[in-house]
A and B are shown apart, each in its own frame.
Chain A
Amino acid sequence: MKKNYQTVAYYPGCALEGTGHAYNASTRAVGKALGLALDEVRDWNCCGAMEVKNIDPKVQTYLSSRVMAIAANEMKAKVVMAPCNGCYHNLKKAEHDLAHDVVSRETVERISKKAGHETYRAGSLETIHALDWIKHGVGEEELKRRLKGSLKGLRVANYYGCMYTRPRHIFPEKDQGGQSESTSQPHFMDDLLAAAGAVNVDFPLKTACCGGAHTLSDSDTSTRLVLNLLRAAEAAGAEVIATECPTCHSGLELHQVRAEKVLGEKTTVKMLYFTQLLGVALGVSPRRLSIHENVSDGIALLKEKSIA
Chain B
Amino acid sequence: MRETLLRKAEEILEEWVRARGEQPRDERVETFRLLALHRQGARGTPSFNACRETCREIAYHYNVLGFEQEESARRHREQMLAMLVEHLRLFVQGKMEVEGLGEFCCASRPVRQGSAEEEMTDA
Contacts and interface: CB of A to CB of B under 8 A. Distances in A.
Interface residues of A, number: 39
A96 interface: yes
Interface stretch (B6-14, B29-37, B79-87): B79-87
A15 to B, nearest CB: 14
B57 A204 contact: yes
Interface stretch (A69-77, A118-126, A216-224): A216-224
A166 B101 CA distance: 15
Nearest to B88: A208
A162 B84 contact: no
A232 interface: yes
Interface string B65-96: 00000000000100110011011001101100
Given A224-B90, A232-B83, A167 B105 contact: no
20 contacts: A89-B106, A166-B49, A167-B107, A170-B111, A202-B80, A204-B60, A204-B61, A205-B54, A207-B53, A208-B87, A209-B51, A209-B101, A213-B105, A218-B94, A221-B97, A221-B98, A221-B101, A225-B91, A225-B94, A232-B87
Which 4 residue pairs of A and B lie closest in terms of their CB atoms, listed nearest first?
A162-B106, A57-B110, A54-B104, A221-B94
Interface of B: 46, 49-51, 53-54, 56-57, 60-61, 76, 79-80, 83-84, 86-87, 90-91, 93-94, 97-98, 100-108, 110-112, 114-115, 118
